[in-house]
Structure 1
Amino acid sequence: MRSWILIPAENDKAIAAAAGSGAGAIVIDLARPLAPGLQAAARMAASAWLRAHREQVVAERRFERWARIPGLDTADWREALGAAMEGSPHGIVLANCRGAEDIRQLASVLYEMEDRLGLAANITRIIPQLGSRPVDALAIGRLADDLHPRVSGLTWDAIGLARAIGARRLRGPGGRWSDPLAHVRAQVVLIAHARGIDAIEHPFRDVQDADTGRRVAETARADGFTGMVAVHPAQVPWINSAFAPLESELSEAFRIVAAFRADPDAPFLVVGDRRVERSELQRARRLLGED
């Protein structure tokens, strides 16, 4: 999935227009702090939208429906999750994820909710938003060996981490991420590819600066990210363009899939002039739309 658009759950107009955004995944954001009255209304709106679009999305496969919930250290994450699950989303983005234990706890609650709602077990996927705080950033590496099967992608929180460490900038000279943020970003890409799942870039929030936004998206794709978060529908076309596969990438993916289809038990194969590990097979299939 190339583009993921994050829609504030309290913004009725944005929610109504979300289906026409062109994004591969629409994420209704229930993690934003709101007054209690507004929070309850936002949950109702999110649940209603997810339910309303369930059947037509299943039939047409135009976009996936996700919800972002607060971290498990907050008082109302279960209420947000319950509202989202009433609409049987494709998955949950977990804000401020502290590590593997948070993912396991969320997965356990999801299993109970799926059973109660009559959904297939383990159908709801998880994408943790990592690195919001220094201690969480230091724990990311452990996910390489301890990642729950429900996790289908990883993303990260540049702004949260910058605030937590008192950083005065996100990027340094030449637009490069500052060192602490670059460290988190690199881990997200490496672990995602090591586990054969999506790596989703942090959003570019200056909606008015489309030129810089395009360069940021192109850089993310060049660095190995498989998709990027948008915060406005205007960003979706250039994210989709930046992450569109090249003909050479599609051709190589086809050769990799064909080679492993001919020798399905091989731990690695020589494709063209290079050795290809089995871990690359899933990425090739995803690129061809076969995942």
Structure 2
Amino acid sequence: MKLRSLLFVPGDRPERFPKAVATGADALILDLEDAVAPDRKPEARAAVRAWIEAPREDGPAVFVRINPIDSDEAAADLEAIAGLSLDGIVLPKAEGASSVATLTDRLPGDYAILPVASETAAAVFQLGTFGSVAGRLAGLTWGAEDLPAAIGATSAREEDGSYTDPYRVVRALTLFGAHAAGVPAIETVFPDFRNLDGLAAYAARGRRDGFTGMLAIHPTQVAVINDAFTPSEADLAHARAVVAAFEANPGAGALQLDGKMIDAPHLKSARRLLALVA
């Protein structure tokens, strides 16, 4: 499943579902949690179920974000999506592998699960546990909005929009937790949806650091995110050249390519990039 861009769509706004399909997002996340007011959640569940059940042409992967698994709303969410042909479930406020196991116990089926894995203080200490449920995961992502609220912080960001030190740590732990589990690392949202230049820079940093995709909150963000997480022809050409150099010199530990030294980590990175594209 290709997951460069994952676009949130409020579950109680079914008129937006077809428009979201047309954005080119790799996945839609039909939201039953934060984007829906409590008194509209029954309406949202009905709208999401009706749209997923209706015939439609091939398009993006379809996920549903349920309410936290320990909340009163979760049971109604799971009843509403039971048996649907959807690609996955976004699990908010996940606290490690045990939250994933609880969800799989309560909802039969082989749905892929994308935990939002950093929204409580306890969750931060469980970011290394997802390897035991990796076979059920679509990836791992994080959030920088709920965690500050959970611990009484005033913000996760400096005045220039960069993260403060505690949230840099959480971002890094999520990134390494995903890679330790062998699943895609999905960067969190960029809230300033009108600032596309800022988004492009943010997404580029995410790809540089090892994220393979990103959450989107507005249709205009999708193309920018897709571009950031799509390797350029120059990137691919370099990766092929690295692989070819080592294939031509199978006993070499290090080689020169374009005037620079390359060794085993460069080969591993090149193979990973080519595999991702394939």
The alignment yields a C-alpha RMSD, in angstroms, of 2.9
- CA change 1:277–1:151 in 2 (3 A) is farther
Q: Deviations over 1:105-135 (max 9, x none)?
A: 112233x3x3xxxxxxx3x101100111111
1:9-158 equivalence runs, <5 A: 9-32=11-34, 34-36=37-39, 38-52=40-54, 56-57=57-58, 62-110=59-107, 112=108, 114=109, 122=110, 124-143=111-130, 145-158=131-144
Q: Which residue of 2 aligns with 1:118?
A: none
Structure 2 unaligned spans of 5+: 246-251, 256-261
TM-score, normalization by structure 1: 0.80
Amino acid at match of 1:11: R
Once residues 268 and 177 of structure 2 are traced to their aligned partners in structure 1, the CA distance between those partners, rounded to angstroms, is 12
* Partner of residue 277, structure 2: 288
Superposition deviation, residue 44 in structure 1? 1.0
AA at the equivalent of 2:158: G
- Whether contact under 8 Å (1:245, 1:287) holds in the other structure is no
Q: Distance in 2 between matches of 1:252 and 1:271?
A: 16
Secondary structure at the aligned position of 1:7 is classed as strand
1:215 maps to 201
Contact 1:31/1:68, CA 8 A, preserved across alignment: yes
Report the counterpart of residue 7 of structure 1 in structure 2: 9
Structure 1: 5+ residue stretches without partners: 115-121, 260-268
For residue 176 of structure 2, the aligned residue among 187, 190, 193 is 190
Q: Which of the residues 219, 229, 235 maps onto 1:243? A: 229
Q: TM-score, normalised by structure 2?
A: 0.83
Secondary structure of 1:96's aligned partner: coil
Judge conservation of contact 2:26–2:61 (CA < 8 Å) in 1: yes
Check 1:229–1:30 CA distance in 2 against 1; reply closer, same or farther (3 A cut).
same
Q: Does structure 2 retain, via aligned residues, the 8 Å contact 1:196–1:283?
A: no
Query: Which secondary structure does the structure 1 equivalent of 2:128 belong to?
Result: helix
- Of 201, 210, 223, the match for 1:224: 210
Report the CA distance between 1:40 and its aligned residue. Answer: 1.1
The match for 1:166 is: 152
User: How many percent identity over aligned positions?
Assistant: 33
Q: Give 1:97 deviation, angstroms.
A: 0.5
CA distance in 1, matches of 2:143, 2:96: 13
Most deviating of 243-252 and 280-289:
280-289
The aligned amino acid for 1:156 is W
Q: CA deviation at 1:213?
A: 1.9
> Structure 2: how far apart are the matches of 1:255 and 1:91?
37
Whole-angstrom distance in 2 between the partners of 1:188 and 1:230: 18
- Which residue in 2 is equivalent to 1:266? none
Aligned pairs, how many? 265
